[in-house]
């Protein structure tokens, strides 16, 4: 059978002036858009966060459905990119539109907590959601743990890990200088309190800097601290990371999947010291491309940092670069488009 030309309708969140839009979800969606643009793959985009404040969620809902109906005659595949909450909100109407217009339907769920989210729904909502998920031509999940769980529910699952379009670089002459970095959203659940304790306790020969949008008012005081360096633009990340040795990620965020910061750090030769939380061990292999410590265990974190030396760091750094290759954006998105094209045959 002749293959149709792929024409995609992308539905998902875009970066805007709201600080909460600066994060892994919007970066992943923007990277996919950039890949489609650079490879001249026909696509239309519907933004799910056009109206920025939470009270405008209803406006966003009807805006999205209106735009989908406008674009539907021009496309043959719908890809909904959303958090678990977004999947609940949009899955049924998008499924219905795809069915009415005979379009292929793909759901991509961000984060690592989709299964627990699903289990916490009431019985009727679980049944309705599962029907939509099983009706999709593909259900794209970020972690292998989620893949296994939804495969058992007879969904047509595929692994779509977080990816980043960054160049893999390693400075062979670089020495371990005890420079550590955190970059990401600044909230309590990302483990910022542990990092602040490290700054207070570690010797003066250690340097820890913090980058990212301050989401919680609790941390507004950081703006007056020399170790808070502000928000990085995406194109600043590789050159900034090259000035550091290790990424810190003491997260206990309930929705944690595969943080893009880990991939970006590994690709620049930075091993990651991270909490053993949710699916983090799938992407940070202890003693290979990073080091893991028990969640919220400050003493373990402190000991890991103090015991990391030049020899161990070099091994971890080399492994980190090798490990990051599987998460390269061009590689991941090329495989994704190949899967889409097979759906049209």
Question: What string of pLDDT tens digits covers the 345 residues of the chain?
Answer: 455 799 999 999 998 766 555 667 888 899 999 999 999 999 999 999 988 655 558 889 999 999 999 999 999 999 999 999 999 999 999 999 999 999 999 999 999 999 999 999 999 999 999 999 999 999 999 999 999 999 999 999 999 999 987 666 666 678 999 999 999 999 999 999 999 999 999 999 999 999 999 999 999 999 999 999 999 988 899 999 999 999 999 999 999 999 999 999 999 999 999 999 999 999 999 999 999 999 999 999 999 999 999 999 999 999 999 999 999 999 999 999 999 999 998
- Using CA atoms, how far apart are residues 232 and 73, in angstroms rounded to an integer? 39
Q: What is the DSSP string of 118-164?
A: HHTS-HHHHHHHHHHHHHSSEEEESSHHHHHHHHTTT--EEE----B
Q: Under CATH, what is the fold of the domain 7-164+328-343?
A: Rossmann fold (3.40.50)
User: What is the structure's pLDDT at 1?
Assistant: 45
- Using CA atoms, how far apart are residues 213 and 232, in angstroms rounded to an integer? 9
- Sheet harboring 179-183: ordered strands across? 207-211, 179-183, 246-249, 272-275, 290-293
User: What is the structure's pLDDT at 122?
Assistant: 97
For the domain spanning 179-327, the CATH number is: 3.40.50.2000
Contacts of 64-73 with C-beta under 8 Å, sequence gap 24+, read: 64/11, 64/90, 65/93, 65/97, 68/9, 68/11, 68/94, 68/97, 69/97, 71/9, 71/44, 71/46, 72/9, 72/97, 72/101, 72/103, 73/101
Domain positions in the chain: 7-164+328-343, 179-327
User: What is the structure's pLDDT at 4?
Assistant: 75
pTM over 0.85: yes
Among the listed residues 153, 201, 166, 149, the one whose alpha carbon sits nearest the alpha carbon of residue 305? 201
290 touches 320 (CB < 8 A):
yes
- Is 179-327 the same fold as 7-164+328-343? yes
User: What is the structure's pLDDT at 57?
Assistant: 80
């Amino acid at each position: 059978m002749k293959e149709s030309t792929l024409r995609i309708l992308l539905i998902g969140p875009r970066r805007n002036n709201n600080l909460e839009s600066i994060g892994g979800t919007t970066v992943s969606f923007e990277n996919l858009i950039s890949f489609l643009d650079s490879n001249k793959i026909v696509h239309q985009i519907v933004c799910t966060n056009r109206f920025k404040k939470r009270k405008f969620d209803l406006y966003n809902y009807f805006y999205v459905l209106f735009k989908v109906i406008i674009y539907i005659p021009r496309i043959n595949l719908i890809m909904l990119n959303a958090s678990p909450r977004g999947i609940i909100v949009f899955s049924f109407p998008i499924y219905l539109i795809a069915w009415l217009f005979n379009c292929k339907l793909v759901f991509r769920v961000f984060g690592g907590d989709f299964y627990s989210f699903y289990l916490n729904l009431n019985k009727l909502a679980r049944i309705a959601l599962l029907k939509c998920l099983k009706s999709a031509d593909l259900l794209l999940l970020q972690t292998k743990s989620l893949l296994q769980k939804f495969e058992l529910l007879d969904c047509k699952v595929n692994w779509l890990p977080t990816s980043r379009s960054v160049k893999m670089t390693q400075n062979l002459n670089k020495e371990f200088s005890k420079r550590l970095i955190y970059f990401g959203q600044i909230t309590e659940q990302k483990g910022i309190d542990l990092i602040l304790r490290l700054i207070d306790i570690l010797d003066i020969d250690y340097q820890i800097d913090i980058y990212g949008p301050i989401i919680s008012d609790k941390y507004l005081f950081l703006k007056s601290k020399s170790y808070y360096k502000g928000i990085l633009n995406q194109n600043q990340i590789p050159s900034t990371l090259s000035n550091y040795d290790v990424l810190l990620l003491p997260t206990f965020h309930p929705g944690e999947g595969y943080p893009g910061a880990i991939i970006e750090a590994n690709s620049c030769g930075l091993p990651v010291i991270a909490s053993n939380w949710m699916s983090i061990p799938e992407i940070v292999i202890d003693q290979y491309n990073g080091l893991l410590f028990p969640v919220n265990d400050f003493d373990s974190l402190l000991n890991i940092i103090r015991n990391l030396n030049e020899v161990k760091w070099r091994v971890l750094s080399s492994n980190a670069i090798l490990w990051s290759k599987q998460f390269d954006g061009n590689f991941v998105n090329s495989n994704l488009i190949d899967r889409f094209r097979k759906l049209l045959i």
